[in-house]
Amino acid sequence: MQNNYRSGFVAIVGRPNAGKSTLLNNMVGQKIAIVSDKPQTTRNRIQGVMSEPRGQVVFLDTPGVHKPKHRLGEYMADITRSSLQGVDVILYMVDVTAKFGSGEEFVLNLLAKIDTPVVLLLNKVDLVAKESLFPLLAEWNQRGKFAAIIPASALTGDNSESIKAEIFKLLPEGPQYYPEDAVTDHPEQFIIAEFIREKVLLKTRDEIPHSVAINVEEVVDKPELVSIRAVIYVERDSQRGIIIGKGGSMLKEIGAEARRDMEQLLGSKVYLELWVKVKKDWRNRDDMLRNLGYDSRE
């Protein structure tokens, strides 16, 4: 390990749809967080690891900051707040194509109470006119105290090296927390479930909002094949019908696309068996939240 090896924890925060999961995947160099254009895609704090000769960064991708509407939403809000404690750097991501409003004000007020250095990432600059960039930088410079402000595109990777350089500049000297080839500390079953949920969100669009959850019931490693059985939970019978589709067509599409991601992750052929079940109002049920890996709120 070289001298001046730096390491630490970096929380990625921001409003829903700011591009946090896309950035995490970009930084880590592999897909570990699901990406969707729907708000509140990330439900858990997803930990990604980036290792370089100069150091190691452990990223915490958090749920988008929003007003909770159910127990699951409260859990997500708690995860985001707790992620800001004990980290070395905070990456605050802003979607520059969205209008500034009370949501960003809320995040700024939250960050103003914390002493941790905040790097502001003005994301999606590839979607705005270049001449509007300088006024945007000037506006945001007045809105808070930032260690740095970096225009970026998580999707294209624009300015990724500048983001990494700024992070390493702010991190303390420290140990290597994970093996060099580690990309996440989450078990494979968690990532598998997230891949399935992503395909449901992408395929069903607005018909199935966030009332979907995945439970991976079994993963069996066989020679040259990984056999996976998972259940997709929804809250209404009509949603079950949409996910299954005519003659099972939608479920087949979801399974085929999720399987491709799994094979890339696992480096093996995958046999995926999917079932769809209805659990009414599961987002407000402590027993279901517990079973699905979310904290219950007694």
108 and 57 belong to one structural domain: yes
Domain that holds residue 82: 6-170
Own/partner long-range contacts of 39-44 (Cβ < 8 Å, ≥24 apart): 39/64, 39/66, 40/16, 40/64, 40/66, 40/73, 40/76, 40/210, 41/16, 41/198, 41/201, 43/72, 43/75, 43/76, 43/294, 44/79, 44/190, 44/293, 44/294
- Taking the C-alpha atoms of residue 87 and residue 69, their distance in angstroms, rounded to an integer, is 28
- The overall average pLDDT reported for the chain is 84
What is the pTM for the complete model shown?
Answer: 0.67
C-alpha dist (Å) from residue 287 to 134, 157, 189, 283, 297? 50, 41, 20, 10, 10
Task: Please report, for the domain that includes residue 281, its CATH number.
Answer: 3.30.300.20
Query: pLDDT tens digits for 245-273?
Result: 999 999 999 999 999 988 887 888 999 99
Q: Does 14 map to a domain?
A: yes
In whole angstroms, what is the distance from residue 253 CA to residue 34 CA?
17
257 and 156 in a common domain = no
Determine the average pLDDT of the residues in 77-97: 80
Question: Can you tell me the distance from the alpha carbon of 266 to that of 223, in angstroms, rounded to the nearest whole number?
Answer: 13
Q: Name the strand (E) or helix (H) holding 231.
A: strand 225-234
pLDDT tens digits, one per residue of 219-244: 998 888 999 999 999 888 999 999 99
Asked whether the CA dihedral 156, 161, 166, 171 is positive or negative, the reply is positive
Residues 132 and 36 in one domain: yes
Indicate the number of domains in the chain: 2
Q: What is the mean pLDDT of residues 86-108?
A: 91
Confidence check: pLDDT of 292 > 60: yes
